[in-house]
Amino acid sequence: MAGSGKLKLEMLSFFLFIIAGVLYLTLNLLGILDINANWLTTTLRYAKDILIACLFIIVGVVGWRHAKGMDGGYKLVYILCALIVLAAVVIPFLKG
């Protein structure tokens, strides 16, 4: 059963990646076609931001699975980068 968590993470990654592609394509098509539906564009942008956060979490989990078996230097770099990514995600929300 140890592999089932990995399988679920892989499946979640796959579907989130597909959703990300559809969201980016939709947002770009709306921009190219100059469709100005503010509520739709705003909703899709919020969905994109949430999706990016989910992808960061998945990458973080996979990265930690790699780093936890390594020496302290890898773990330190991982934690520093995780803090940088967290700050980069949180700061824009605090600004406005």
Task: Give the integer Cα–Cα distance in Å for 53 and 87.
Answer: 12
| Domain-wise residue ranges, the chain | 9-95
Q: Which residues contact 12 (CB under 8 A, 6 or more apart)?
A: 58
Q: Which residues contact 75 (CB under 8 A, 6 or more apart)?
A: 67, 68
The reported pTM is: 0.69
Task: Give the integer Cα–Cα distance in Å for 39 and 42.
Answer: 5
| Of 6 and 13, the one with more pLDDT | 13
What's residue 80's pLDDT?
Answer: 93
- Which residue type is seen at 73? G
Query: What confidence tens digit (pLDDT) does each residue in 46-77 have?
Result: 888 888 888 888 888 888 888 888 888 889 99
